[in-house]
Amino acid sequence: MSGPLLLEARDLRVDYPLPARGLRRATNVTVLQQVSLTLADGQSLAVVGESGSGKSTLARALLRLLPLAAGQVLLRGEDLAILTAAELRQRRRDLQMVFQDPYASLDPAMTVAEILSQPLRVFAPELSAAQRLDRCAAALHEVGLQPAHLQRYAHQFSGGQAQRIGVARALIAGPAVLICDEPVSALDLPIRLQVLQLLAAQREQRGLALLFIAHDLAAVRYLCERTLVLFAGRVMEQGPTASLFAHPRHPYTRTLLAASLRADPQAAKAAAAQRRALAPAAAVPAGQSAVAGCAWAPRCHLAQAQCWQQQPVLRQVGDVQVACHRAGELA
């Protein structure tokens, strides 16, 4: 059950600089535009979309690891953009992240004890060395590893074990929000389920708010109450996971769901038929540009003149919000 509003993003825009090259002038490329979301205490929100849609950029913007071109990120109503470096460092106790590649995110020159001690040195400097070691052993136990593992290095663990260490490091300071950026995509299927179960259990026990970025829609269905669909840096659809999966209103969401792997041969056959039905649209109309309108228009079988001319805004359709001029036709 969700509680008070904890994390809020308002109309985020993130630009990446594109340096000058040859005859091209230096410019900025917008990778996130007008992205808003809310995350309540104890709530789980999935962010899905194809590669390049802006999911990881969104995660880093929420953590203020990337500068915002526009918009606000609020933690318990406090604007993170106006904080000093020292103030932001303390707020990061409440905002922790689990990365996609556990080996890349764990320092290979450090033992597990040293890795887990780092957050405690920053956020709990009053602890003695012995107390920090006890906390590290307890954190490993919570994620299914043994205190004996504290003196090992990251390369001595399997991918699933290394990701458990990444989870332990993110949780050891007692955050309020855990942001997971594709935390299971590099893992084998049986290990993937174990890590998902671990995240679900920790969320339940700690009352964590969870932002879960994923390609694996089965994992999203298992773990998250709400889902936000990104494409080309914009929100296409968002709402309760069960409703969004059962009755997707946006053509892109339908394509995304139809493209997911299915074990049922009949369901796979039906999905293939749906993908064929969602064929790319005709050529761009004369004088029109997808930049001016919906980013999905060049690949949408429902695209019409309005879709090329006007960017759709999120509007309520049933119990989800959809940025599509023709969403009512898919209800």
Closest CA to 151 of 112, 118, 119: 112
Parallel, antiparallel, or unpaired: how do β-strands 95-98 and 177-181 relate? parallel
* Cα 104 from Cα 125, distance rounded (Å): 26
Looking at the structure, tell me whether residues 132 and 149 fall in a common domain: yes
Of 122, 145, 174, the one marking the end of a domain is 174
Q: Is this structure's pTM higher than 0.85?
A: yes
Full 3-state SS string of the chain: CCCCEEEEEEEEEEEEEECCECCECCEEEEEEEEEEEEEECCCEEEEECCCCCCHHHHHHHHCCCCCCCEEEEEECCEEHHHCCHHHHHHHCCCEEEECCCHHHHCCCCCEHHHHHHHHHHHHCCCCCHHHHHHHHHHHHHHCCCCHHHHHCEHHHCCHHHHHHHHHHHHHCCCCCEEEEECCCCCCCHHHHHHHHHHHHHHHHHHCCEEEEECCCHHHHHHHCCEEEEEECCEEEEEEEHHHHHHCCCCHHHHHHHHCCCCCCHHHHHHHHHHHHHCCCCCCCCCCCCCCCCCCCHHHCCCCCHHHHHCCCCCEEECCEEECCCCHHHHC
- Write down the mean pLDDT value for the chain: 87
Residue 250 lies in a domain: no
pLDDT of 282 reads 44
Looking at the structure, tell me whether residues 51 and 152 fall in a common domain: no
Report the CATH number that the domain containing residue 60 is assigned in CATH. 3.40.50.300
What is the arithmetic mean of pLDDT over 254-265? 71
**119 pLDDT higher than 90:** yes
Structure tokens at 235: 């929100």
Looking at the structure, tell me whether residues 9 and 122 fall in a common domain: no
* Cα 140 from Cα 262, distance rounded (Å): 35
pLDDT of 234 reads 95
* Cα 245 from Cα 319, distance rounded (Å): 12
What is the arithmetic mean of pLDDT over 251-264? 77
* Cα 144 from Cα 137, distance rounded (Å): 11
Query: How many structural domains are present in the chain?
Result: 3
**265 pLDDT higher than 70:** no
Point out which residues pair with 7 in neighbouring strands. Answer: 39, 75
pLDDT of 1 reads 47
Any idea which of 70-84, 85-99, 239-253, 268-282 has the lowest mean pLDDT?
Answer: 268-282
Looking at the structure, tell me whether residues 296 and 148 fall in a common domain: no
* Cα 246 from Cα 192, distance rounded (Å): 24
pLDDT of 44 reads 95
Residue 53 lies in a domain: yes
Q: What is the pLDDT of residues 7-23, one digit of tens each?
A: 999 999 999 988 888 87
Looking at the structure, tell me whether residues 153 and 198 fall in a common domain: no
Of 132, 150, 174, the one marking the end of a domain is 174
Encode burial over 280-306: b for 16+ CB neighbours within 10 A, e otherwise: ebeeeeeeeebeebbbbbbbbebbeee
Residue 148 lies in a domain: yes
**58 pLDDT higher than 90:** yes
Structure tokens at 112: 């597990």
Looking at the structure, tell me whether residues 126 and 269 fall in a common domain: no
pLDDT band at residue 209, thresholds of 50, 70 and 90?
very high
How many CB atoms are closer than 10 A to CB 78? 12
Residue 254 lies in a domain: no
* Cα 152 from Cα 111, distance rounded (Å): 5
Q: How many percent of the chain have pLDDT more than 90? A: 56
Q: How far is CA 94 from CA 35, 62, 187, 229, 261, in A?
A: 22, 12, 27, 25, 35
Looking at the structure, tell me whether residues 87 and 182 fall in a common domain: yes
Looking at the structure, tell me whether residues 167 and 179 fall in a common domain: no
Of 157, 174, 191, the one marking the end of a domain is 174
pLDDT of 272 reads 53
Residue 85 lies in a domain: yes
Point out which residues pair with 48 in neighbouring strands. Answer: 229
Residue 3 lies in a domain: yes
Looking at the structure, tell me whether residues 89 and 202 fall in a common domain: yes
Looking at the structure, tell me whether residues 130 and 40 fall in a common domain: no
What is the arithmetic mean of pLDDT over 187-198? 83
How many CB atoms are closer than 10 A to CB 267? 10
pLDDT band at residue 187, thresholds of 50, 70 and 90?
confident
pLDDT of 220 reads 93
- The half-sphere exposure of 19 on its side-chain side, counting CA atoms within 13 A, is 1
pLDDT band at residue 120, thresholds of 50, 70 and 90?
very high
pLDDT band at residue 192, thresholds of 50, 70 and 90?
confident
Residue 256 lies in a domain: no
* Cα 126 from Cα 97, distance rounded (Å): 24
Residue 273 lies in a domain: yes
Looking at the structure, tell me whether residues 214 and 313 fall in a common domain: no
Looking at the structure, tell me whether residues 8 and 88 fall in a common domain: yes
**111 pLDDT higher than 50:** yes
Q: What is the pLDDT of residues 267-319, one digit of tens each?
A: 545 555 554 455 444 445 545 555 578 999 988 888 888 889 899 999 999 89
Any idea which of 38-52, 67-81, 165-179, 254-268 has the lowest mean pLDDT?
Answer: 254-268
Closest CA to 29 of 327, 315, 291: 291
Print the domain residue range for 276. 265-330
